[in-house]
Amino acid sequence: MKRQFSPSATFRGLRYVPFIALSRNSLYPALDMDEQAIVIRVIGRRVLPFSDIATVDVRWRLAHQVTLVPRKGPWTFSANFFDKAAALCLVRALAERGVPLTAQARSVLDGDAT
In this structure, is residue 114 part of a structural domain?
Answer: no
Number of domains making up the chain: 1
CATH number at residue 98: 2.30.29.30
Question: Reading across the β-sheet that carries 17-25, which strands appear in turn?
Answer: 17-25, 9-14, 75-81, 64-70, 53-60
Distance separating alpha carbons of residues 77 and 70, to the nearest angstrom? 8
pLDDT at 80: 95
Coil, helix or strand for 85?
Answer: helix
- Is the pTM of the predicted complex or chain greater than 0.85? yes
Q: How confident is the model at residue 112 (pLDDT cuts 50, 70, 90)?
A: low
Structure confidence by residue, pLDDT tens digits, 51-105: 999 999 999 878 999 999 999 999 999 999 999 999 999 999 999 999 999 999 9
Q: Which domain holds residue 41?
A: 3-109
In this structure, is residue 32 part of a structural domain?
Answer: yes
In this structure, is residue 45 part of a structural domain?
Answer: yes
Largest CA distance in the chain: 35
Nearest-CA neighbor of 29 among 45, 8, 47, 14? 8
The sign of the CA dihedral 60, 104, 16, 36 is: negative
